[in-house]
Structure 1
Amino acid sequence: MKTHSSAAYTHLVEANLSTKDLKAVVALSQTKSFGQAALLVHLSQSALSALIARVETQIGARLFERTTRAVELTDAGHVFVAHAQELLRDTQRALQAISDTVHLKTGSVTVAALPSLAASFIPKIFAEFSQCHPEVRLALLDTLSGPAFDLVRDGKVDFALTAADPKQEDLAYEQLTEDQFLLICPDGHPLCDHRGPISIESTLDYPHISMSGSASVRQYIDADLLAKGLHFSPVFEVDHIATIGALVREGLGISALPETATSLLQTERLTKLPLSAPGIRRPLGIVKRRHSPQSSAAKELEALIRTNLYRLSSLLK
């Protein structure tokens, strides 16, 4: 058999009250007047009276003692109003947090990018974004394409800028631009006297310096030469663009690099030469999870990257 208190508790748990209901009860508790409270919540007095009666019925307890002179809270009413005010504050805080997120007053975006992009193109975009949305936290992970796919898949980054299409069902890839390879030689190298573009295969008699096989830079060179029946065997394989530049500068070899990468080199004592058509082109694109919603901040940053591609294009000319 249910007691009166347990029945009231059941009514309270099962009550389906709206924010409007809570505001009406709080307004009446503060004004102690149906007329004034009705004005505050934009209801007629009769509508407010009906609303209060419905709330009391739903929770199974009287909230107000009504007399001809005043409206006073009952003990249950005091408890209810205290919790109602807290619920209204929580609701307002939640709405404000959502508004801040939508309007980019808060939030975070994490991007994975190829090292050459992370050191050239992306910082300018981040700086522009941060000027407009200083409260949004940005994070950048410079990594090769393979690890970048895993970061996207695991939800550790919002999206990645890579050179390769993962061709995997759970990931979506969209090419945004291309990166043209150039030949980098030390000043005074015999190839510097060559007139016009140079084919990559005609340079193989000279020692080459390249990145390791896991890097997209190396993979596109390997694929181009393999299609011509040639094998690429660099004398140095390193992991950092700056190291390649230093080795070339000291006359230890030449190197074929994407133009975004060459923009990071110290140009003194180095000569950049074009490769003959069609050359070697590295596609650059964005990788995201399929059917996964993006935050407002991530969408805004992605849009900024797209609309500012002329900056990257200027690097590639």
Structure 2
Amino acid sequence: MNVTLRQLSAFVAAADTGSFTLAAERLFITQSALSSLIKELEQALGLRLFDRSTRRLKLSETGRELYPQIEKILHDLAGVVSEAGNLKALERGTVRVAVPQLLACTLLPEVMAGFHRQYPAVQLRLVDCAVESVMARVFSGEVDIGLGPEREANSDIQASELFRMPFMAVLPPGHALAKRRQLAWSDLSGQPLVTLQGQFTELLVSDVGEAARDLHKEAFMQVTFMTTALALVRAGLGVTLCMPYARMLVEQYGLVMRPIGDPVVERSFWIFTRRGRSLTPAAQEFLKFLQQRLQGPDTFA
């Protein structure tokens, strides 16, 4: 059995108008083409759908029984097409993004607000989590997109660099080092240093290299969240390190940031998506928007 949508549309149009002529006009086809579609449908089904007379076209008993079901098929299909159009036109849709806590409370809200102004019908859902669990959220399908510092990705994760930023020292404004416009890593020797747990500290010491020889990793106070580190620095319990994008949060804690050189150590931030899984139109547009906003030279000036 080979039933087409054109045949079903011809059947409903003919049933609604009671005339091949009017049905053909509704569908913008010739009367002979419409008559052929009806005949093809009857042959495919092996049923007579209309009782024909010289005065009026009427549904047969079988046609009357099938009409509600065929009309529903066409109505449901129209709904699917309309919904697909809405998704493509970003008249609706949902984007789920996983980001570490610091990005979630500094950089992402402004980006999300800009996207929402442009596409108010698209729902944005932010999942703030530990750095190490961003890729896991992407892999499980809990989110469409992950954003975070570079991490070793498995074969199921597609990773692309979004931006790079240098480390900054965060100090109380009355700290002796705060009087300098730029610091060297050797200036941090002997300072109580608050860092983040996990790969943050290991990668930092590795990247700083020889300049870190006087930084004793065992003496670092390691915490889970940057907000905790900032609170400890504000209490006078040490200094910490973070990225320039957190400047607003740092200032809210009453602290100051100073660049560190000799060497300049940068951290790259990446976009993570699930390999082999297509993004929705809304997620594709958000990804494009994210790249445009965060890859410009003056983004973090």
Normalised to the residue count of structure 1, the TM-score between the two structures is 0.86
1:142 pairs with 2:167? no
**Secondary structure at 1:264 match in 2:** helix
Question: Structure 1 201/25 Cα, relative in aligned 2: closer, same or farther at 3 Å?
Answer: same
**Counterpart in the other structure of 1:109:** 95
**Secondary structure at 1:112 match in 2:** strand
Assess if the C-alpha contact under 8 Å between 2:167 and 2:266 holds in 1: yes
Q: Which moved more, 1:275-284 or 1:58-67?
A: 275-284
Give, in whole Å, the separation in 1 of the partners of 2:270 and 2:124.
20
Assess if the C-alpha contact under 8 Å between 1:182 and 1:257 holds in 2: yes
Give, in whole Å, the separation in 1 of the partners of 2:245 and 2:82.
42
User: How far off its partner does 1:90 sit?
Assistant: 0.5
**Counterpart in the other structure of 2:206:** 223
User: How far off its partner does 1:151 sit?
Assistant: 1.1
User: Tell me, which stretches of 5 or more residues in structure 2 are unaligned?
Assistant: none
Give, in whole Å, the separation in 1 of the partners of 2:173 and 2:52.
96
Question: Structure 1 82/187 Cα, relative in aligned 2: closer, same or farther at 3 Å?
Answer: closer
Question: Structure 1 201/152 Cα, relative in aligned 2: closer, same or farther at 3 Å?
Answer: same
Give the letter for the 1:247 counterpart: L
Assess if the C-alpha contact under 8 Å between 1:113 and 1:143 holds in 2: yes
Which of 76, 79, 90 is equivalent to 1:93? 79
User: How far off its partner does 1:244 sit?
Assistant: 2.0
User: How far off its partner does 1:226 sit?
Assistant: 5.3
Question: Structure 1 268/94 Cα, relative in aligned 2: closer, same or farther at 3 Å?
Answer: closer
Question: Structure 1 257/234 Cα, relative in aligned 2: closer, same or farther at 3 Å?
Answer: farther
**Secondary structure at 1:265 match in 2:** helix
Give, in whole Å, the separation in 2 of the partners of 1:227 and 1:84.
76
Deviations 1:206-247 (A, max 9, x none): 2112222x263x343232355556332345322232322222
**Counterpart in the other structure of 1:121:** 107
Assess if the C-alpha contact under 8 Å between 1:158 and 1:298 holds in 2: yes
Which of 119, 142, 151 is equivalent to 1:133? 119
**Counterpart in the other structure of 1:4:** none
**Counterpart in the other structure of 2:266:** 281
Deviations 1:126-160 (A, max 9, x none): 11111222222211112233211111111111111
Give, in whole Å, the separation in 1 of the partners of 2:183 and 2:17.
87
1:154 pairs with 2:140? yes
Give, in whole Å, the separation in 1 of the partners of 2:275 and 2:210.
32
Question: Structure 1 127/281 Cα, relative in aligned 2: closer, same or farther at 3 Å?
Answer: same
Give, in whole Å, the separation in 1 of the partners of 2:144 and 2:264.
33
User: How far off its partner does 1:274 sit?
Assistant: 1.8
Paired residues, number: 299
Question: Structure 1 273/32 Cα, relative in aligned 2: closer, same or farther at 3 Å?
Answer: closer
Give, in whole Å, the separation in 2 of the partners of 1:59 and 1:49.
16
Which of 223, 242, 252 is equivalent to 2:237? 252
Give, in whole Å, the separation in 1 of the partners of 2:247 and 2:189.
20
Runs of 4+ in 1 over 4 A off after TM superposition: 225-229, 310-313
1:200 pairs with 2:185? yes
RMSD over equivalenced CA pairs, Å? 2.2
Give, in whole Å, the separation in 2 of the partners of 1:189 and 1:148.
35
Assess if the C-alpha contact under 8 Å between 1:165 and 1:173 holds in 2: no
Give the letter for the 1:158 counterpart: D
Which of 287, 291, 295 is equivalent to 1:306? 291
Question: Structure 1 161/313 Cα, relative in aligned 2: closer, same or farther at 3 Å?
Answer: farther
Assess if the C-alpha contact under 8 Å between 1:145 and 1:164 holds in 2: no
Give, in whole Å, the separation in 2 of the partners of 1:219 and 1:297.
37
Give the letter for the 1:139 counterpart: R
**Counterpart in the other structure of 2:149:** 163
1:188 pairs with 2:174? yes
Deviations 1:245-279 (A, max 9, x none): 22222322122222223431235653322212332
Give, in whole Å, the separation in 1 of the partners of 2:232 and 2:16.
79
1:83 pairs with 2:66? no
Give, in whole Å, the separation in 1 of the partners of 2:31 and 2:252.
81
Q: Percent identity?
A: 27
Normalised to the residue count of structure 2, the TM-score between the two structures is 0.90
Assess if the C-alpha contact under 8 Å between 2:98 and 2:146 holds in 1: yes
User: How far off its partner does 1:68 sit?
Assistant: 1.9
